[in-house]
A and B are shown apart, each in its own frame.
Chain A
């Protein structure tokens, strides 16, 4: 039993803090983290309320394996209703914050209401306080963390906070912990800002105990560690980070470029994993080292620094330090999709995303949308405050990253997200989104299974909730992909509920997660049971969305991906075959052709 069996509930409106026991019945049905937080959200709020209103509930949840020696045990999830989509938002993060929350004695943190004035939450084991945030409201994420540590004289404290973007309701503001790890997607930071909550500072010294059978647990841990140690995919992640993907996507022809007008980018080799390791003309090497989240034996994180002579920081010494570097999604979003091949500019924009607390994917794709609107003449130089918002302009990238982060000038428009921006400037068709959330770095026409995953993801377009990658690489057609899409969604919903990271799937199958849970948690946890928890979670997320007012009509792609053929690459000529895939998917799910789970399906999963 690796639970603390305790939840911290904070009513920000009333300033009340209460503790309650973790509902073990629900934990048995949803595992923990993503799944269990979804159940708590479902039971604690009305899905129809506005995401930015006090009626929204914000949950920080750990999993049963968070804070144990299982590899990658640092994960926590932030679950709420998302302001970008109006759908359920579920964002998870690594770093060290999640484990610290568990070490403080809490499995989950439920935040309700809205504080009358800016506050932060200070948790020191059993001592929990809501404190005024006057001195940090308006500060960056980085300064907030520094202030909290020095104010509380606690250098070992872990902090999750929002930046100025989150305070001002930038729709894709995120929650950043440990300076450069983030619950990045779906605007969970904007919800935190709408509650006037600046930060959560935690110090935990209680620890996590395995009551069931510590020896059996340690045996499984040893075995699963070894599987990762020996795995070739894992070795690639350690050495190159996720940005090795950029080279593959470029070669395959699935790398979104110029707001998804193209799928291959001329400057790809200037921003890929090898470019990060190569000295530039003055001998500067972007990448310094790799770095792990809590408990992680992969360490895919990149620590980089920007060339001091680069225009972005030459006169700004405060950025002459190392920080989180490019990963695949940032390299695509702050690179190819905006036509940017300047590795230092992209790295700097990445710093700004962390410092100001924004999702780089949604920011980059929104900027790309703005660039296309600018080149079409729908946005003018007057609108942008004199910035030449053209594809490939690294200055446009870094100026807009900063202006959006600090919520100034045209940055306020970029902060709307692609959907609202494209509508405002009269071209809704140019927003590269599903349900209002921007695509990640894979083109749906080239990767048909990925496209179906984007469409059906409950938090809007997202690459992390399914895995049809192997099938997509093998064959650019659409047949036979609905099933692996559905199955992997269920598996990943389960994995996201354990407290571990999905990158371990390089070496582990669902059974390996199941045996770790089985060794740590009460009861018998077979692979099938774990999978069913994932399917239950997926369907409950869907139920939340349906109740929030989303319908089958929201399960679609932008016209560009349904009608304009891919111009180059392996899948040249393809459009996305959504009309053929979606009915099959609904059927596999046990949903009616209206996209609603049938009574039988709900009954089978214990959701009726």
Chain B
């Protein structure tokens, strides 16, 4: 359980909230009480738990990456293998939980937004499993760079709606999903893909992802007999990061480090580093750090990785940053691409481009932690979805 309870308005300090059209307030109230009720229902948590085990493949391994450690100058780097989850990323932890909740609320039409397509695939998978109607909104640009996942969603019976407005990426896919929800709220549940959006989404998605940190804490204690000196995770909306951070929040000696996308470099303005250089503002229903211009217009984000290509970030991260409990940094597209190759060659693991950001940062700084004990990196997903895109970036013909 988290030690950081949201303040009375269900905020994280000043961050979070429910900045949404009036139409959604009733549904958010309903969702909050359904979730609170489910969260305290033993049957619900054991149903989620057994599905994540038997269908999802949990617990995921905590793997001692020795060759990566050698290359980085640190003898004990551990990878939390969320890439080994069914569908290839941590996203399934959340979609199984939310789909079960939707069924509890009697809603059988599901919508979702997706960037990399991992959340879309995980949602489509849960919907296939429970026989729910599934519509996934995805920016046109992402439909192109994540073609494999688009086809996977279709195989799973989902309808993929390409979004051509605005930036044609995750931000506008989210706008479109919210517009659908405003229209269909009486029959539809919106499975949001990260710890973003209006309350109760940030705390609910955190709770579903907190299984990552619970397992990690147990595993590292069992394997090494001590807590890690630092935990690293990439941050798009921030769900895999919050998921792994949550169990360590009260262990003040464990440094928590989130890695955002620096795109072509913070100084170029083409990046997705909302925590590093954004200013607090309101997008998609919550108050949080946000990339925006002087007029309060949201700036387009940029990242080679579709899952990090988002100008906002979950409100709990904004809070952890401001109170100094977590630190946030950013690495460039190029560093992430290099790390993508390094991990493949050193460990036989092709990471998702999102996760490659965390790997890249660890490669840079791990040596500094050499004498402080083990460090853990959340390997949030596997890179199959990115293979074709990376090949293309590196001058090859697209593979799919």
* Same assembly: no
- Chain B positions near chain A (C-beta within 8 angstroms): none
